[in-house]
């Protein structure tokens, strides 16, 4: 699941909707330049913020739900059966679509950091090696990322001591 960073401000979702999967309350649509449909949501039981991404049929099996790595955002849940009533009415819902839920990791994207100037070469090399290790962990588990870009890398994550972190 790529780019759980918000490139544009979130858009509030009008009206109320049932809990998605009985667990997640969709709060705001996340607008991204890659066209993926994602929402900031609240896990009802814990109150924590998560990101819900609608997934095309066949894509759900590639998410690294069981992959843990210090340079990967964790996937919390992967659901194959979707209740369309839990989504806003304007959502494009492909037949057979499901969704993945991942931890929300606030922070600056690598894209934002690079807009301010280039990274020091030693930092760039160290980060590349860390990200390659994270991608290797995904591939070893039979998962793929599908869209690695500066937008999908949390370069300065809040609440984590080590950077960078790749969204799944």
d(CA 79, CA 152): 22
Q: Please list the pLDDT of the chain residue by residue as tens digits (168 residues).
A: 433 444 444 454 655 667 888 888 888 887 665 667 888 899 988 989 998 888 777 666 666 667 888 888 888 888 887 777 777 777 777 777 888 888 888 888 888 889 999 989 998 998 899 889 988 988 888 877 777 888 888 886 666 656 777 775
Distances (CA, A) of 159 to 57, 105, 156: 33, 8, 9
Element (H, E) at 110: helix 110-115
Q: What is the spatial order of strands in the sheet that 165-166 belongs to? A: 107-109, 153-157, 165-166
The pTM assigned to this predicted structure is 0.76
Please say whether the beta carbons of 28 and 40 come within 8 A.
yes
d(CA 96, CA 115): 38
Please say whether the beta carbons of 26 and 18 come within 8 A.
no
d(CA 115, CA 130): 21
């Amino acid at each position: 699941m790529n780019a759980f960073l918000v490139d544009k401000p979130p858009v509030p979702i009008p009206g109320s909707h049932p809990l998605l999967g009985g667990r997640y309350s969709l709060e705001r649509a996340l607008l991204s330049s890659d066209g993926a449909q994602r929402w900031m949501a609240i896990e009802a039981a814990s109150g924590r913020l998560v990101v819900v991404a609608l997934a095309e049929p066949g894509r759900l099996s590639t998410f690294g739900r069981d992959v843990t790595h210090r340079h990967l955002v964790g996937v919390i849940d992967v659901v194959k059966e979707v209740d369309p009533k839990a989504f806003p009415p304007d959502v494009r819902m492909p037949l057979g679509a499901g969704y993945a839920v991942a931890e929300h990791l606030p922070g600056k994207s690598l894209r934002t950091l690079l807009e301010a100037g280039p990274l020091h070469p030693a930092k760039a090399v160290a980060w590349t090696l860390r990200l390659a290790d994270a991608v290797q962990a995904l591939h070893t588990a039979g998962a793929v990322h599908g869209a690695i870009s500066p937008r999908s890398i949390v370069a300065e994550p809040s609440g984590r001591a080590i950077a960078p972190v790749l969204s799944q």
